[in-house]
Amino acid sequence: MVRSIRVKHCVRCSQPAPTLFRVKYEEDGGWVFVCPHCWPQISENNSFYIYGGTWKAEKKKN
């Protein structure tokens, strides 16, 4: 069985990342994925920030 390569890009810097955080960070914004590099910039001192989970390119194997 061939596994497909899972890729997502950061909504802020557009770079692919193996780990992304699902967040809301604007008053009327929807859920987006941001990389660990961009995450501190949008989360610190932001009253609209909501964490919604972590996405990983490699899933745990059972």
Q: Where are the domains of the chain?
A: 1-62
Helix spans in the chain (H): 39-43
Residue range 22-50: mean pLDDT, rounded: 97
pTM metric for this prediction: 0.84
Q: Choose among 9, 17, 12, 44: nearest CA to 29.
A: 12
**Residue type present at position 27:** E
Of 32, 40, 5, 33, the closest CA to residue 19 belongs to 33
Note the CATH number of domain 1-62.
3.30.60
Q: What is the mean pLDDT of residues 13-22?
A: 97
What's the pLDDT tens digit per position in 46-62? 999 999 999 998 876 66
